[in-house]
Each structure stands twice: as C-alpha cells, then as structure tokens.
Amino acid sequence: MRLGLSALLLALSPCLLSPLAMAEEAPMSITAIDDQLFSKHDELRNAQKALKEQQSVVDEKSDQLNALERETRTLDKTFSKAKSYLEDTYNKLETDPSADIIQAQKSYQEAWSGVKQNQKARLAAEQSYTESQANYDAQQREVDAITKAIADLQNDKTHARVEQLREELKQPQQLSISFTNRCNSSLTLAQCDKQTQALALQKAVKQYRSELVNRVSEPRVVERNIHDASLNIHIVKHTTTSSGFYDGERYRTLMDVELEARPSAKTACELLGVDTQHCFEPGIFDTEPQFEQEIAWVTLAIRSNVYGDSVTIDGVSYGSTPVEVMLPIGIHNVMVQKEGYKTFNKPVTVKTDSSLRANLVEKSNPLNAGDKFADGMKALGKGPQLVAILNGTYYIGENASNQVHLDHAFGFGVTPVTVSQFASFVEQTDYQTDAELKNTCTALIKGEVTPVENSHWRDPGFKQYPNSPVVCVSQNDAKAYTNWLRKQTGAPYRLPTEDEWEIAVRAGSLTKYWWGNDFAPGEANTGWSGTPWSNTSTSPVSAFKPNQLGIYDGVGNVWQWTSNPQGIAKGGAWNFSPDMAAADKQLFLSRSSAANYLGFRVVRDIQ
C-alpha cells in the first residue's frame, strides 16, 4: 500500500520536529549553571582523589615488578653457576668415578626451580601492573571528561552572563531632568534656551549612564571596564515641560527625556572583560538597526600639558583638565586656555567615546629683567611670585670683584617663602620638618647658638604671621617644598645657587647693599638697625622697600638657604649685625640645621 504525502510527513514528523524543538530549548540560567558547576567541581574532587589513590596502586605494582626483575637477574646468575658446576662434575666422572654428581644435580635443580618460580611471579606481577595502569588510565579519562564538562559549563556561564547583560542594557528609561544655567549676557533668549536644553540633555545622558550601570547584575565589573566600551546612548525623545528665568539671572529648564542604550554586539563582552568570541555566534554579524532623527551621546575626555587651564566646549565652561564630558555625536568647538599660553581652539568631530590632548604652548613674549609672574597650581591658587633674572655678565663677591657669566634665565622668589605658603605645603602633604622630628630649633641666646626644645616653624620663640618668612626650616625641608612645587605646577623649581642669589639681590649694583655701601638705619630688619623688629623677631616679608628688580628682603630679615651641598645661607637676619647682611656674606651650617633666623626662597628655571 502506498502512503500519501501527508501521511508520510505525519509519520516523519517526530524526526523532523525533534531537532527544531531542541534548538529552541531555552538556555540554562546562570543560577542553574552555577549549581551544575558546584556538582561538577565536587565530582572532580572525588575523581582526582580516586586518581591519586590509583596512582599509588600503580606505583606499588611497579615497585613489586622492579623487585622481581632484580631477583630475576640474581637467579639467572645462580642458575648459570649451578649449570656450569653440573657440567664440570659430569666431565670429572670420566676420570674420577667417585665425583659427587648428586650434589651438583641438587644445586642445579634448586636453581632451576627458583628461576621458574620467579618467571611465574613476574608474569603475575606484569599482569597486575597492566590492570592497575588500565584502571589509572580509565580514571584519568574520567577526570579529563569532568574537567572538559566544567570548561564547557564555564563557557556556557560566560555566554549566559553576556546575554543577561545585553538584556539589561536594552532597557529604556524615562528621566525627569531639571537644569539651571547662568547664561552669558551676550546670548539672546533663544540662544540661552538652546544652550540650557543642550546642557539638560547632557545631564540626562550622564545620569542615565550612571543609573544603567548601577541597575545591571554585575555593576562592579561593568564600572571597572566602562571606559573600554561604548554604550552608544541615544535620546529617543525629549519634551520640555517648563523653561525660563526664575530669579532674573538663572535660566531653568525642566524636561522629560526618554533614553536607551544601543551597544554593539561586542560591548557586553568588553564590559564584562571577557573574550569577544562570546559575543558572536557563527554566521551572526554585528549589525545595528538604523534609527532616524535620533542622536547618540558619547564621552569626550580632554587632557592638557599644563595645570590651571580652563576648558570651554561650544561656549560652555567645563572647568579645568583632566575632564570628561558627555556630548552628542557631531562637531564641537573645543577651547583650552591658560594665561601666558597660546589658546588651543579646535573643531572636533566626535563619533565614539574618544580622548583629546591639548598641547598648550607658552607665548613667545620677550622676557624682560624684572618681569613678575606666578605659576598656577593643581590645588587652588598660585605658587610664589617670581621675578625674571636674565642671562648675562654680572659682578659678585667682595667689592663685586668677581665677574661671572650667567648662561640661563631664571625666576627668583620676590620674597622669602612665607608661613602661609609653607603651611599649604604641610597641610597637603602632612610633612614634618627636621625641627619637628628633633623637637628642637636653634636660637641665638646671649650671643650663643642654643638648641631650644619644643621650638619649630609654627612656634619659633616669637609671634609669626601668615606673611612672615617661615623659619626653623632645614635645607632638607626647603628642598622638600621645592619638590612639592614641581609636582603642583609642573615647572622646574629648586633652591638658588650662591651666584644666582647674589645676582638677583644685587640687582646690578656693585656695592655691599643694593642701595649703596653704607647701611642706613630703618632700611632693613637686621640686628641694631633701629626697626621695631630688630633683635626681636622677623618682620613681614614686604615691610621694607624692594631692590630695583622688585625683590624684597635681599638684606636682612632671615638668612636664606642656597643649594650649596656644604650648607650655605646668605642675606643676614633680624638678630645679626648689618655688616653680615652684605650681599657677599655667607653663613655656614649643616644641611639639617634649623634656626629661628633661617628661612629660604625659591628659584624656577625659565626654558
């Protein structure tokens, strides 16, 4: 009987449908895979234990077989001797019928019996060893099979994690956003409204990105890898519910924004830190649907080579570098500025998460002797004010008799480093000075150099003010401060050499003091100089007139460290004679010395 086509298909239907049903079977959940992994790991431990036990059996059988093989060699030697003895005895019988053939035969038979027993035992041992080795191989195959099953489950788990994250990233979200903007007075109302809406959308994208990361099942892993992947966030639609000035100065926009992420096929793998092969199946390609009139938002990271700059994108200020800004894809005008540097101004096309480094170049303005400047710092504020000293020929030493050629320009501290400036350094670094560690600072008491306990830069034995020169600091402390300035400003700060100090303080003069050879009472804070601070304490760093370059306290107030490794300070002090404040005078100390008449000022190299 011939079957009709429909009947034939019906008969074959179980065979046709079975593979399809298997293909559509739902994949295991991560929890189910973890349960199986737990069981498999338990199986693996038991199988490895059994394998180890079987290895012991194999080793034991191997030892037994080796012992029998050693015994075989001994028995073979014994048998060979017995055989030779028997042959010799037979030969003697031809000439000596009384030879003892019975003893020779007995020795031969005993040796032969031993050989046969050994052969039998060795055959049994070889068979036992072969069986134990086969059992070991079977156990090893079981361990390998379980190990492979675990690897397959781990692979399935990675796939499941990827699929789970993909589903989590697909979830759209609607946010209600409020953004307040202080518009520039040069903008029209329409321009202000447009700018505020753009910033509100930027806030929405940033908030959605943060909340999306926190919503996923593995937020810590995703957060760790978020900078290696692009979420491709899209604003599906947005509606402004309210906008306008609400206090006459600030413009506020309220918006309802619907957003969703459309990451590429490999993004889930990048966020989880797994191989991208887990994100693709054979024959499946990374294709993205096309959506019209929707704009993706991405991250632009901006860095520069200087500190204290300002970043403006499309007319909106974003503070200083380094900074990351969420922007819609397209062309944006990026401007990075800093005083004394040429402005970096460039249109940037942003398509994906990307970074931009702005290399600011110092303006090539001609440098003049006496020009004053200060470097910006990572922390708020500026470094010590400096005055420019140019290269050239100068005269220094006693009676200005030593001609020197300065081959470089440098910035010289306008004043010694003050208590306030040094305090900023200590507060940010928790630095302890040598005097604080030793709990001692030196003072001149009745003309004698005397260590004073519980004395340091905060309490040197007299009242200090924020604008007083810091004292009780060693050369080590001064260098620590200049190193901190280097890190804060990115500029090459250090202590001055003796020649640099004298060149700057003389300001081109050839006399003992920058104003002449005679010390005039009241012109500087030295001992016996007739000022309110003489022989009493330091004075504020700008209490007296500066020299021709605008440098204060080049004469008196505090001795100032130079970079000389022998420990040399210059300048005189409030409790030393006026003659010691002459430009060529020196004070020799150890580099760890700290005294209440000893401070320092800084130098910055000018490239």
- SS3 letters across 50-61: HHHHHHHHHHHH
Residue 523: strand, helix, or coil: coil
At 66 the pLDDT is: 94
Q: What are phi and psi of 237, to 5 degrees?
A: -160, 160
Token readout for 117 is 């027993």
CB 465 within 8 A of CB 351: no
Question: 141: burial class by Cβ within 10 Å (0-12, 13-18, 19+)?
Answer: exposed
CB 561 within 8 A of CB 522: no
CB 334 within 8 A of CB 366: no
Residue 509: strand, helix, or coil: coil
Rounded CA separation 574/599 (Å):
12
Rounded CA separation 269/512 (Å):
75
Q: Band of the pLDDT at 315, cuts 50, 70, 90? A: confident
At 25 the pLDDT is: 58
Angle between helices 419-429 and 475-489 (to 10 degrees): 70
Q: pLDDT digits over 170-227, tens only?
A: 889 999 999 998 888 777 888 888 889 889 998 999 899 889 989 999 999 998 888 8
Percentage of the chain surpassing pLDDT 70?
A: 93
Rounded CA separation 26/33 (Å):
13
Q: What kind and span of H or E run contains 139?
A: helix 101-169
Q: What kind and span of H or E run contains 258?
A: strand 251-261
Quick one: CA dihedral 508, 510, 513, 515, positive or negative?
A: negative
Question: 575: burial class by Cβ within 10 Å (0-12, 13-18, 19+)?
Answer: buried
Rounded to an integer, the average pLDDT of 307-319 is 88
Q: pLDDT digits over 515-570, tens only?
A: 999 998 899 999 999 999 999 999 999 999 999 999 999 999 999 999 999 999 99
Rounded to whole angstroms, the maximal C-alpha distance in the chain is 147
Residue 136: strand, helix, or coil: helix
Please state whether the peptide bond connecting residue 322 to the residue before it is cis, i.e. omega within 30 degrees of 0: yes
Q: pLDDT digits over 243-264, tens only?
A: 988 877 789 999 999 999 888 8
Rounded to an integer, the average pLDDT of 142-159 is 92
- Position with higher pLDDT, 98 vs 112: 112
At 353 the pLDDT is: 86
At 26 the pLDDT is: 65
- Report whether pLDDT(306) > 60: yes
Token readout for 541 is 């760093």
Distance of CA 174 to the CA centre of its chain: 36
At 98 the pLDDT is: 78
Rounded CA separation 300/318 (Å):
12
At 5 the pLDDT is: 44
Q: Right CATH number for 30-167 from 3.40.50.300, 1.10.287.620, 1.10.1740.10, 1.10.760.10?
A: 1.10.287.620
CB 565 within 8 A of CB 550: no
The answer to whether the 30-167 and 372-606 domains have the same CATH topology is no
Distances, alpha carbon 366 to alpha carbons 83, 363, 431, 551, in Å: 116, 9, 38, 21
**pTM exceeds cut of 0.95:** no
Q: Fill in the amino acid letter for 321.
A: T
- Report whether pLDDT(3) > 60: no
Rounded CA separation 112/106 (Å):
10
Q: pLDDT digits over 18-35, tens only?
A: 444 444 456 788 999 999
CB 115 within 8 A of CB 79: yes
Residue 415: strand, helix, or coil: coil
At 343 the pLDDT is: 93
At 100 the pLDDT is: 79
Rounded CA separation 365/157 (Å):
64
Q: 395 has which bridge partners?
A: 403
- Position with higher pLDDT, 304 vs 366: 304
- Which residue in the block uniquely carries the two structure tokens 């804070």? 525
- Report whether pLDDT(481) > 80: yes
Rounded to an integer, the average pLDDT of 64-71 is 91
Rounded CA separation 75/111 (Å):
7
At 365 the pLDDT is: 66
At 20 the pLDDT is: 44
Nearest Cα to 52, choosing from 42, 44, 63?
44
CB 583 within 8 A of CB 390: no
Q: Band of the pLDDT at 293, cuts 50, 70, 90? A: very low
Quick one: CA dihedral 570, 573, 575, 578, positive or negative?
A: positive
Nearest Cα to 478, choosing from 553, 422, 519, 403?
422
Rounded CA separation 260/232 (Å):
9
Token readout for 317 is 């200020």
Rounded CA separation 212/219 (Å):
9
Of 139-143, 144-148, 230-234, 592-596, the poorest mean pLDDT is in 230-234
At 264 the pLDDT is: 85
Rounded to an integer, the average pLDDT of 599-604 is 98
- Which residue in the block uniquely carries the two structure tokens 């022989």? 535
Q: Band of the pLDDT at 284, cuts 50, 70, 90? A: very low
> Any idea which fold 372-606 has?
paralog of FGE (formylglycine-generating enzyme) (3.90.1580)
Quick one: CA dihedral 69, 73, 79, 82, positive or negative?
A: negative
Nearest Cα to 427, choosing from 385, 472, 392, 457?
457
**Per-residue b or e along 248-260, where b marks 16 or more CB atoms closer than 10 Å to that residue's CB:** eeebbbebebbbb
Q: Which stretches does DSSP call E strand in 284-428?
A: 296-304, 310-313, 316-317, 323-328, 330-337, 344-350, 354-358, 372-373, 386-389, 392-396, 402-406, 409-413
Rounded CA separation 261/424 (Å):
46
At 300 the pLDDT is: 92
Q: pLDDT digits over 389-443, tens only?
A: 999 999 999 999 999 999 999 999 999 999 999 999 999 999 999 999 999 999 9
Domain extents in the chain: 30-167, 169-281+290-358, 372-606
Pairing state of beta strands 559-561 and 598-599? parallel
Of 232-241, 279-288, 456-465, the poorest mean pLDDT is in 279-288
At 29 the pLDDT is: 87
Rounded CA separation 451/443 (Å):
6
Q: Band of the pLDDT at 89, cuts 50, 70, 90? A: confident
- Report whether pLDDT(10) > 50: no
- Report whether pLDDT(461) > 80: yes
Rounded to an integer, the average pLDDT of 140-160 is 92
Rounded CA separation 273/345 (Å):
36
Token readout for 477 is 């402390």
Average predicted confidence (pLDDT) for the chain = 89
Number of Cβ within a 10 Å radius of residue 16: 9
